Structure 1
Amino acid sequence: MAVEAAAPLYYEPLLLLGGAVIAAPLFARIGLGTILGYLAAGIAIGPVLLLISDGKELLHVAELGVVFLLFIIGLELKPARLWAMRRSIFGMGLIQVSVTGVALAMIAMLLTDLSYGAAFVIGFGLALSSTAFSVQTLESQGSLNSRYGQTAFSILLFQDLAIAPLLALIPLLSPGAEGADAISLERFGIALASVLGLVLAGRYLLNPLFRVIANTGAKEVMIAAALLVVLGAAALMEVAGLSMALGAFIAGVLLAESSFRHELEANIEPFRGILLGLFFMAIGLSLDLGMVIDNWLTILIAVPILMLVKAVVLYLISRAFSCQHNDALRVAALLPQGGEFGFVLFTAAASAFIFPQAMASLLIAIVTVSMALTPLSVRIGEMLVRNEPDEEMDEDFEGAGAGVMMIGFSRFGQMVSQVLLSGGTDVTIIDHSADRVRAAARFGFRIYFGDGRRKEVLEAAGIRHAKIVAVCTNGAASTDQIVNLIRAEFPHVRLFVRSYDRAHTLSLRERDVEYELRETVESALIFGGKTLQALGTSEEIASEIVEDVRRRDEERLAIQAVKGIYAGNDKMRVRPVTPEPLVKPKRESQRLDHDSEQSA
Structure 2
Amino acid sequence: MIRANLGDSLASIFNFGFDFSKPTFLLATAVQASSSIVLAGVLLSLVVIYFTSKLGGEISHRFGFPTVLGELVGGVLIGVSAFHILIFANGNDARSNSMIVAFLQATNGLSAEATPATFASISEILYDFSELGVIILLFEIGLESNLRELLKVGAQAAIVAVVGVTVPFALGTVGLMLLFHMSAIPAIFAGAALTATSIGITSKVLSELGQLNSKEGQIILGAAVIDDVLGIMVLAVVASLAKTGKVDVTNVVLLIVGATVFLLGAIWLGRFFNRAFIRVINRLKTRGGVIVPAMIFALSMAYLGAALHLEAILGAFAAGLVLEESDPRKELEVLLKPISDIFVPIFFVSVGAKTDLGVLNPLIPENREGLIIATFLIVVAILGKVVTGFTIRGKVPINRLAIGVGMIPRGEVGLVFAGVGAASGALSPALNAAILVMVIVTTFIAPPLLGIVLPRKRAN
Aligned to 1:82: 150
Deviation at 1:12, TM superposition (A): 0.6
Which secondary structure state, in structure 2, belongs to the residue aligned with residue 136 of structure 1? helix
Aligned to 1:289: 357
Deviation at 1:285, TM superposition (A): 0.8
Q: Quick one: which of 405, 413, 420 aligns to 1:333? A: 405
Aligned length: 381
Distance 1:217 1:339, change over 3 A: same
Q: Quick one: which of 42, 50, 54 aligns to 1:21? A: 54
Aligned to 2:306: 238
Deviation at 1:125, TM superposition (A): 2.4
The structure carrying a bigger strand percent of its residues is 1
Which secondary structure state, in structure 2, belongs to the residue aligned with residue 269 of structure 1? helix
Matched ranges for 1:207-356 at <5 A = 207-293=275-361, 294=364, 295=367, 297-298=371-372, 301-302=375-376, 304-310=378-384, 312-318=386-392, 320=393, 322=395, 324=397, 327-356=399-428
Contact in 2 for aligned 1:302/1:366 (Cα 8 Å) = no
Contact in 1 for aligned 2:72/2:444 (Cα 8 Å) = yes
- Which amino acid in the other structure matches residue 372 of structure 2? T
Between the two proteins, what is the percent identity of the paired residues? 25
- What RMSD, in angstroms, separates the aligned Cα atoms of the two structures? 3.3
Distance 1:235 1:217, change over 3 A: same
- Which amino acid in the other structure matches residue 53 of structure 1? I
Matched ranges for 1:80-479 at <5 A = 80-177=148-245, 180-188=248-256, 190-191=258-259, 194-195=262-263, 198=266, 202-205=270-273, 207-293=275-361, 294=364, 295=367, 297-298=371-372, 301-302=375-376, 304-310=378-384, 312-318=386-392, 320=393, 322=395, 324=397, 327-356=399-428, 359-378=431-450, 381=453
Distance 1:40 1:80, change over 3 A: closer
Aligned to 1:437: none
Deviations 1:312-371 (Å, cap 9, x if unpaired)? Answer: 4134324x45565x7112223333332432222332233333334764454133212221
- Which amino acid in the other structure matches residue 51 of structure 1? I
Where in structure 2 are there 5+ consecutive unaligned residues? 1-34, 91-123
Q: Quick one: which of 65, 68, 84 aligns to 1:50? A: 84
- Which amino acid in the other structure matches residue 310 of structure 1? G
Deviations 1:367-388 (Å, cap 9, x if unpaired)? Answer: 12221122343366479xxxxx
Where in structure 1 are there 5+ consecutive unaligned residues? 384-474, 476-600
Structure of higher CA gyration radius: 1
For residues 396 and 300 of structure 2, what CA distance do their matches in structure 1 show? 37
Deviation at 1:193, TM superposition (A): 5.8
Deviations 1:468-505 (Å, cap 9, x if unpaired)? Answer: xxxxxxx9xxxxxxxxxxxxxxxxxxxxxxxxxxxxxx
Aligned to 1:442: none
Deviation at 1:267, TM superposition (A): 2.7
Higher relative contact order (CA 8 A, sep 6+): 2
Which secondary structure state, in structure 2, belongs to the residue aligned with residue 174 of structure 1? helix
Tell which deviates more after alignment, 134-143 or 191-200: 191-200
Aligned to 1:31: 64
For residues 374 and 428 of structure 2, what CA distance do their matches in structure 1 show? 21
Distance 1:381 1:55, change over 3 A: farther
